[in-house]
A and B are shown apart, each in its own frame.
Chain A
Amino acid sequence: ETGVTQTPRHLVMGMTNKKSLKCEQHLGHNAMYWYKQSAKKPLELMFVYNFKEQTENNSVPSRFSPECPNSSHLFLHLHTLQPEDSALYLCASSQVGAGADTGELFFGEGSRLTVL
């Protein structure tokens, strides 16, 4: 098992569809993240979950809805997306807290989303 697994790797959806991206980490970490990577742009932090609680929402449109049912799983629910939402969505995890707070993120392979 790789450390952080994302499914699906590729997703094509219409603007009226509803789909979800899934992320699972096998590293025993307590924090999980969603990043958006668009061509020619820096990585954008979207959401952070720390001990299953959402601690960061970087002004992300409501058509993106995260869910973190436990410390190992993270979802990104997608609905009524726009073509400009086409990007690579990266999930990451890390261990935060006293004694382990080096902030090193472990990334999944990403989900390539295309919105038609």
Chain B
Amino acid sequence: AQSVAQPEDQVNVAEGNPLTVKCTYSVSGNPYLFWYVQYPNRGLQFLLKYITGDNLVKGSYGFEAEFNKSQTSFHLKKPSALVSDSALYFCAVRERGDYKLSFGAGTTVTVRA
């Protein structure tokens, strides 16, 4: 069975400060890991993914995430947050060989001006 935990329901940061959204996962084998963002009344938009290779992956809108196998984590980061980054962020995992994604409960990010 695969699962994802996002330990923080909410993250609040000031504009210009670094932003980190935490994610840990559990899978039986090797994971594929994803981050999605959802703006109010919209669908989920893909941000980035880790499949294999370099542990640091870069994605859309200046976001990046680091895969840490020993800690089973895939935290999302942005060096300098913008007010427009305020949204709901979902981490997701899929085990290789399976096509179904398991999502975390989501983390609401609020960036204040």
Contacts and interface: CB of A to CB of B under 8 A. Distances in A.
Interface of A: 4, 6, 31, 41-43, 45, 48, 50, 56, 90, 92, 94, 96, 101-110, 112
Contacts of A106: 46
Interface of B: 32, 34, 36, 41-46, 49, 51, 90, 94, 96, 99-101, 103-106
Given A48-B100, A109-B43, A110-B42, A104 B105 contact: no
B45 A105 contact: no
Given A41-B105, A42-B105, A42-B106, A108 B43 contact: yes
A1 to B, nearest CB: 15
B99 A43 contact: no
Query: What are the 6 A-B residue pairs with the smallest beta carbon separation, nearest first?
Result: A107-B43, A103-B94, A43-B103, A107-B44, A96-B99, A42-B105
Contacts of A56: 100
Contact of B104 (A42, A45, A94): A42
B90 A43 contact: yes
A71 to B, nearest CB: 14
13 contacts: A4-B43, A6-B43, A41-B105, A45-B100, A56-B100, A90-B44, A103-B32, A103-B94, A103-B99, A106-B46, A108-B43, A109-B43, A110-B43
Contacts of A48: 99-100
Given A102-B32, A103-B32, A42 B44 contact: no
Nearest to A6: B43
